Amino acid sequence: MRLLVVEDEERIARFLKKGLEEESYAVDVATDGPAALDWVAGAEYDVIILDVMLPGLTGFEVSRILRQRGITTPIIMLTARDDVEDRVTGLDAGADDYMPKPFAFKELLARIRAMTRRTSTATVAMTVLEFADLKLDTITHLAKRGSHEIELTPKEYGLLEYFMRHPRRPLSRTLIRESIWGYDYYGASNVVDVYVRHLRQKLEAHGEPPLIHTVRGVGYKLDDLEE
């Protein structure tokens, strides 16, 4: 297993390289965006661990360029702590997962294992969210209702993940918008309603009963009770 760590902070890069090598991974380190692109052009990696704040090109730009070049290597993005906007931008840029900084090394290892062993049942149990007959894989971002697979855009995925992590709870439109689009979102005010509508259409495409219910005067909730 070969990993590329893209991190300009020397202390963190050294710590990651040493820790990952102790786990028997082969590790290359790039310390800026352009160097990361060079490394990826010259070698095949199983996972790329990509910091957001980098000299030359940001992690978002690196991810976007790699995806444009058709490189599908899983990317774990290192984002600022609890920064929803970073997380969403990262997923939009083609990252597969994110780790808020500072992170526990053990958790990073777990995510690398999840990325490299997508089919193992132990991994599936850890990474798949379930509600009623709905399953959401947090690694592949694929949803499944019963036996039907549902493809989601990054924003739809973010929205569904948010609902599934807060089941049976009324969630206000403001809360949902800030969680998925960030605090400084100034786009259309009905963005939540629009995306909920898309999501409902996909979740009920085969005549299944609704899972996302309107809560009058508040917003929405994920529930398996009839309205």
Shortest CB 182 distance to Ca ion, Å: 20
Pick between residue 8 and residue 85 the one whose CB is nearest to Ca ion.
8
Pick between residue 8 and residue 61 the one whose CB is nearest to Ca ion.
8
Decide if residue 51 touches Ca ion (CB under 5 A): yes
Shortest CB 3 distance to Ca ion, Å: 17
Interacting stretch for Ca ion, rule CB under 5 A, among 6-14, 40-48, 68-76, 202-210? 6-14
Shortest CB 135 distance to Ca ion, Å: 35
Decide if residue 139 touches Ca ion (CB under 5 A): no
What is the residue whose two structure tokens read 């709905």? 134
CA–CA distance, 208 with 204 (Å, rounded to integer): 5
Interacting stretch for Ca ion, rule CB under 5 A, among 17-25, 43-51, 62-70, 114-122? 43-51
Decide if residue 8 touches Ca ion (CB under 5 A): yes
Shortest CB 52 distance to Ca ion, Å: 7
Interacting stretch for Ca ion, rule CB under 5 A, among 40-48, 50-58, 60-68, 180-188? 50-58
**Residues forming the site for Ca ion (CB under 5 A):** 8, 51, 53
